[in-house]
Structure 1
Amino acid sequence: MTQTATAAASGESATQRFRADKAGAAATTSKERVDLLARSVIEAVHAAIRTHKVTYDEYNALKAWLISVGENGEWPLFLDVWVEHVVEEVATEHRKGNKGTIEGPYYVPGSPDQGAKGTVPMREGETGTPLVWTGKVTSTDGSALPGAKVEVWHADADGFYSQFAPGLPEWNLRATFTTDDDGSFEITTIKPAPYQIPTDGACGRLIAAAGWHAWRPAHIHVKVSAPGHELLTAQLYFPGDQHNEDDIASAVKPELLLDPRPAGRGETVEYGFVLDPVRA
């Protein structure tokens, strides 16, 4: 079945999801912090204009582009691709457990719980190499975390995410796993493929104008949570992907690379998570 996923449609879905899940965060930000951060960003823009002698033609091109980002509903895509990785770096620099990385615009809470061992929902004949992933969730002191949640989501072989592209079942390649008594889990899914972020909208025009590429390496998204511990958000990558070194979202870290091994007609991989206790 041929699918057509547009930047505008994906952006609208991502914007609606953000408004439902995260827009309320603004209410907890003090006026002092808003003043400090807004002034810092504006001053950085002023500095760039002065340093690079920006012309009115360039300014108007920027203004037109910013307007089109809003019209296309692509602010979630723009911010998650080019800004979020630095926010994540600052927010988690204190951690002693696993490294994390960006969430991206395509997370949806409430995916079906498959228990400690199960298969991610997928279509019959889903394209991709079968992958069986085992691991444990522990605390930084080495103790197992039974009942921890491991939420998993990833794109299909065409680079599409369910609920953000037409023609896909609602929970395709999305699931939640709950660790057993020793913190273990086993997940069966398919190995995702690299994909390009949508390029038919404003972000694509920026990429073309700057001579960049739009590729993200193949990756599996996860959120790992347990009572009394900090939420870990990460993406797991595969060795040998040509875009691990130049990911457009700058989200790849060496600690997030998997080490899959051949097994039958698919692959197996072992990768666990160490969570930091919530800071007092």
Structure 2
Amino acid sequence: MDTTHPSPTAAGSGASATQAFLARQEGGAGEVSRERVATVVQAVLDGVHEAIRTHEVTYREFTAAKQWLIEVGESGEWPLLLDVFVEHEVEEVAARKQHGTKGSILGPYYLPGAPKLPSVTTLPMREDEPGTRFVFAGQVRDTTGRPVPGAELDIWHADHAGYYSGFAPHIPEGNLRGVVVADGQGRFEISTVQPAPYQIPTDGPTGKLIEAAGWHPWRPAHLHLIVRAPGCRPITTQLYFAGGDWLDSDVAQATKPELVLDPQPVSDGCVRAEYDFVLEPA
């Protein structure tokens, strides 16, 4: 079988991420007061000005930065750039007032509208989907410990080579994506394959920045989830794998020790991990 596939480009991934983001912003982001805009924007500008003064930024460096920002916009990479380098701090601020399961970043590769699946299910995948078979099971409860019947787990992840459906030309639409509906006791069991670590697209301006700074572009293997139920605050999170590459040096700085799975072998070629989610009242 031919295993050579065209790689997703930064421009292609950026355009898809931008379109997906804009599609989710129905009606805009809501009103923000002038005072709030002035306060936050002025703080950002103050930080930029201080960096220029402290590091004596030259006109040549300033011009290079302007050119790079133009390239980010033209390539559609703003979602990628902001999700990788900024979102983790926004999530940390939000977490200060939240209870229940730890959250993490949404990232640029979420797509709404995945099919609903029963509590015991297999994610949509190719007939010959490569990778280690993986069973992910657990229960959704509230902060009092009671099961949350019918809770939904919107789950998506990369394949064994680190590619996401909707963002790579050779992956079928909807591959390894689904909304799993927990049973009457909030329980679920999802069969899929273990995702691989992946590097964010590096052939665009975000990649140029990473290379110029001498950073690495890798994210550790992870599952993405949005767990939700009526009357509860939805949780957006990511679950990682013990011992995985880049777990301690995630380019997006989104890992947390509470979000690490430790899959164990259950049969030839299959591993299993369990994780329970706790939702707080909305």
Please report the TM-score for the alignment, with normalisation by the length of structure 2. 0.96
List, as ranges, runs of 4+ consecutive aligned residues in structure 1 with deviation greater than 6 Å.
none
Distance 1:213 1:108 in 2: 26
| Shift of residue 23, structure 1, vs aligned partner | 6.5
Please give the secondary structure, in 1, of the residue aligned with 2:99. Answer: coil
Aligned-partner Cα distance in 2 for 1:37–1:22: 21
Deviation at 1:127, TM superposition (A): 1.3
- Residues 188-199 of structure 1 correspond to what in structure 2 (within 5 A)? 188-199=191-202
The question of 1:239 aligning with 2:242 is answered: yes
Match of 2:23 in 1: 20
Distance 2:137 2:155 in 1: 13
Matches within 5 A, 1:174-189: 174-189=177-192
CA distance in structure 2 between the aligned counterparts of 1:24 and 1:200, rounded to whole angstroms: 33
**Distance apart, 1:34 and its partner CA:** 1.3
1:129-278 paired onto structure 2 within 5 Å: 129-264=132-267, 265-278=269-282
Shift of residue 11 of structure 1?
0.4
Alignment root-mean-square deviation, CA = 1.1
- Distance apart, 1:128 and its partner CA: 1.0
Q: Name which of 72, 77, 80 aligns with 1:74.
A: 77
Partner of 1:63 in structure 2?
Answer: 66
Distance 1:174 1:255 in 2: 23
Q: Which amino acid in 1 is paired with 2:249?
A: D
Give deviations 1:209-242, integer Å, cap 9, x for gaps.
Answer: 0011000000010000011111100110001112
CA–CA separation in structure 2 for the residues paired with 1:64 and 1:71: 11
- CA distance in 2: counterparts of 1:123 and 1:93, whole angstroms: 40
Task: Quote the Cα distance in structure 2 between the aligned partners of 1:26 and 1:34.
Answer: 13
Write the distance in 2 (CA, Å) between the matches of 1:218 and 1:186: 20
Please give the TM-score of this superposition, normalised by the length of structure 1. 0.97
2:275 partner amino acid? Y
- In structure 2, the residue matched to 1:93 is 96
The worse-fitting range, judged by mean Cα deviation, of 27-36 and 212-221 is 27-36
Q: Secondary structure at the match of 2:29?
A: helix
**Equivalent position to 1:37, from 37, 40, 44:** 40
Q: How far apart, in 1, do the equivalents of 2:30 and 2:67 lie?
A: 30
Aligned residues: 278
C-alpha displacement of 1:92: 2.0
Gaps of 5+ in 2: none
Q: What letter matches 2:57 in structure 1? A: V
2:188 is matched by which residue type in structure 1? F
